[in-house]
Amino acid sequence: MNHSIYSADRTTHLKIVVVALVAGIAVAGLGISARLNADTGYTQTAKVMKAGKPVVVTSSETPLVR
């Protein structure tokens, strides 16, 4: 029984890495499946806008200093 990760042998380190990898894959899989199944209609669509005639915007207002 090793109570420290520093004094653990190679198989203990391998077990820790495998458990962490499986847990990470499980969390990622649950996140992806929850994301794909929760289609609530909030999808975004791109709309194409055609350019119209050129417009000139001018302003003759002078700034007022008070």
Is this structure's pTM higher than 0.85? no
Which residue did the predictor score with more confidence, 32 or 2? 32
* Helix, strand, coil percentages for the chain (3-state, nearest 5): 40, 0, 60
So what's the pLDDT on residue 42? 67
Q: What tokens does 55 get?
A: 């417009």
| Nearest CA-CA partner of 15 in 29, 3, 25, 5 | 5
Locate 8 and state its tokens.
């653990």
- Residue 23 in tokens: 């847990």
CA distance 63 to 44: 42
CA count, 13 A, side-chain hemisphere, 26? 6
pLDDT attached to residue 49: 80
Q: What is the pLDDT of residues 6-63, one digit of tens each?
A: 788 889 899 999 999 999 999 999 888 876 555 556 667 778 888 888 877 766 666 6
The pLDDT of residue 31: 85
